[in-house]
Amino acid sequence: MTMKPILIKNILQLTPQSQTVKVSGWVRTFRNNQFISLNDGSTIKNLQIVVDFQNFPEELLKKIHTGTSITVTGKLVPSLGKGQTHEVVAEALDIIGECSPEEYPLQPKKHSLEFLREIAHLRMRTTTFQSVFKVRSGLAFAIHQYFQQHGFVYIHSPIITASDAEGAGELFQVTTLNLNNIPKTETGEVDFSEDFFGKPANLTVSGQLEAELAAMAFSKVYTFGPTFRAENSNTPRHLAEFWMIEPEMAFYELPDNMDLAEDMLKYLIQYAFNNFPDELEFLQQRQSEEEKQKPQNERSSMPLLEKLNFCIKESFERLTYTQAIDILENSSYNKKKKFQFPVQWGMDLQTEHERYLVEKEFNKPVILTDYPKAIKAFYMRQNDDDKTVRAMDILFPGIGEIIGGSQREERLDKLEQRMKEMRISAKDMYWYLDTRRFGTVPHSGFGLGFERLVQFVTGMSNIRDVIPFPRTPKNCEF
């Protein structure tokens, strides 16, 4: 029987005692015609392969370059060199796939993140992106683990819908109509009766409304899937395709919702801490080098691991939107006119305001509640002041809004009235209103932007660097 290759991760856990091992991977570097640094992605660590050039034909050694895939069989011995504990003394070496050093864009030198974004089909072969996507994978698993352990049912909300949950109107339309020959009605409008679904359809912006339906059956549910927003914003925090986690809980009021969100975030950060020490250590190093390039006043005050630890330990600051506006108005920042957008009750907080509260005022995560109803979605529970709703946003250092949620309006009359004011069709939304007609209960939920969480945990400053293939305006490559 032929020997199977062992993952490098497992090899590095063996006690080296000259046992024979077989390993397959891609060459990261080949130094002095003698040392191969091999990676197979099972760990961000590389395995050193020692090649005695006298034992191998020159023709073969000439084909070993950065990116070449090889299989090696040899003896596993302790390494005397610096930087590694194990090495394999090669006895047999096969080239699996060649890689031309003249053409291969990934060379063993520092590439900028911008350049790597242009070669996103190859960037996963770098230690930075292996670290980021391993943490991403782990966090996705931890999300399921957290909710499953807490009695939540996982609901698959649809990707294609005919409703616009947020009323934000940033929809990607889904159609099979021939755009070169669009069927029109007698009055000259697009005849959607001829479209695939017989009416306009779009990619979902949120699974919340469907999650609410399910919460009325299971009490506690969550969704976790891709969502789509045709926001024309080129920022380091927005994607056109991003993943969202949306728990929805019957019999939960706003404070219960905040408690759950805080507990979940701490659990997820702790999970990354416990399970990805090597990756986070590497990312911390990477980030601190990046920080050195920035002007003094824009540098983040804490190294990555310290920042993560800090967020686990501290309780999140909770205050109302109105209190936050007061703080912002009276801040020396505002008095010195340092905000680009002037502060005023009723405004939607801009990232600069959110970051001021988190990074300058409280220096920890902040939960803001009770926003003006005019800037929030129709489904949020109305307060008695007739001005604000039971909304909550969670703001994180370096990120701004990571979670948006609310207690929902469970009173049929109030909800219908708000929908009328906002010109949302009660007829089209009969199924949603049915939850308020048939056994309505107080309930709450929130949406966690998965990429923003990954950004926070990995310290990557651009959201395009935490999803394998980012979709942004004018960019749908790979």
Spatial separation of the C-alpha atoms in residues 164 and 161, rounded to whole Å:
8
Q: Does 404 bind Mg ion (CB under 5 A)?
A: yes
Question: Taking CB within 5 to 8 Å according to partner kind, which of Mg ion, ligand 4AD, none is near residue 242?
Answer: ligand 4AD
User: How many other C-beta atoms are found inside a 10 Å radius of the C-beta of residue 407?
Assistant: 25
Beta-carbon count within 10 A of 128 CB: 20
Q: Can you read off the two tokens belonging to residue 397?
A: 């250092």
Residue 30 vs 456, nearer CB to ligand 4AD = 456
Residue 206, contacted partner among Mg ion, ligand 4AD, none, CB below 5-8 A by kind: ligand 4AD
Q: Considering the complex, what minimum distance in angstroms separates the CB of residue 376 from ligand 4AD?
A: 9
Which residues pair with residue 380 across a beta bridge? 408
Closer Cβ to ligand 4AD, 43 or 388, answer by number: 388
Tell the smallest beta-carbon distance from residue 25 to Mg ion (Å): 43
What value, to the nearest 5°, has the Cα angle with vertex 189 and ends 187 and 195? Answer: 130
Q: SS3 for 261? A: helix
Angle at the Cα of 205 from the Cα atoms of 202 and 210, rounded to 5 degrees: 95
What residues contact 443, with CB distance under 8 A and at least 6 apart?
212, 215, 216, 248, 249, 250, 251, 252, 407, 408, 410
First-to-last C-alpha distance (Å) of the chain: 40
Among 24-32, 249-257, 264-272, 397-405, which window interacts with Mg ion (CB under 5 A)? Answer: 397-405
Look at residue 313 and give its three-state secondary structure.
helix
Residue 101 vs 236, nearer CB to ligand 4AD: 236
Contact partner, 459, from Mg ion, ligand 4AD, none, Cβ < 5-8 Å per class: none
CB of 268 to Mg ion, least distance (A): 19
Chosen from ligand 4AD, Mg ion, none, partner binding at 452 (C-beta under 5 to 8 Å by type):
ligand 4AD
Q: Cβ contacts of residue 381 below 8 Å, gap of 6+?
A: 254, 389, 390, 406, 407, 408, 409, 410
Report phi then psi at 399, rounded to 5. Answer: -115, -40
Q: What residue ranges bind ligand 4AD (CB under 6 A)? A: 165-166, 206, 208, 229, 231, 238-239, 242, 244, 246, 401-406, 445-447, 449, 451-452
Q: Whole-number minimum distance, CB 98 to ligand 4AD, in Å?
A: 39
- Name the one range near Mg ion by CB under 5 A: 33-41, 51-59, 366-374, 401-409: 401-409
Q: Given the complex with ligand 4AD, which of 397 and 449 has the nearer CB atom? A: 449
The partner in contact with residue 171, picked from Mg ion, ligand 4AD, none with C-beta cut-offs of 5 to 8 angstroms by kind, is: none
Name the minimum Å distance from CB 271 to Mg ion: 24
Closer of 43 and 406 to ligand 4AD (Cβ) = 406
The stretch among 223-231, 243-251, 346-354, 396-404 that binds Mg ion (CB under 5 A) is: 396-404
CA distance 250 to 432: 15
- Supply 103's token pair: 């053409």
Nearer to Mg ion by C-beta: 25 or 404? Answer: 404
Q: Which residue is nearest to Mg ion (CB)?
A: 404
Q: Shortest gap between Cβ of 247 and ligand 4AD (angstroms)?
A: 8
For ligand 4AD, which is the closer residue by CB, 409 or 451? 451
Here the tokens at position 126 are 């770098």
Cα 284 from Cα 306, distance rounded (Å)? 10
Cβ atoms 74, 49 nearer than 8 A: yes
* Separation between Cα atoms, residue 445 and residue 319, nearest integer Å: 18
Which stretch, 229-237, 239-247, 402-410, 457-465, contacts Mg ion (CB under 5 A)? 402-410
Nearer to ligand 4AD, 390 or 452 (CB): 452
Position of tokens 């529970």?
A: 381
Q: Count the residues of the shown chain that bind Mg ion, applying the rule CB under 5 A.
A: 1
Q: Which helix (H) or strand (E) holds 368?
A: strand 366-372
Stretch that binds Mg ion, among 118-126, 150-158, 380-388, 404-412 (CB under 5 A): 404-412
Cβ count near 430 (within 10 Å): 10
CB of 213 to Mg ion, least distance (A): 21
Hey, what's the torsion of the CAs at 234, 140, 355, 407, to 10 degrees?
100
CB of 379 to ligand 4AD, least distance (A): 8
Question: Shortest Cβ distance from residue 405 to ligand 4AD (Å)?
Answer: 4
User: Quick one: tokens of 400?
Assistant: 């701004």
CA distance 351 to 464: 18
How far apart are alpha carbons 26 and 42 in whole angstroms?
Answer: 12
CB of residue 200 to Mg ion, shortest distance in Å: 24
Q: Residues 355-394: x/- map of binding to Mg ion (CB under 5 A)?
A: ----------------------------------------
Residue 155 C-beta: closest distance to ligand 4AD, Å? 12
Question: Would you tell me which residues interact with Mg ion (CB under 5 A)?
Answer: 404
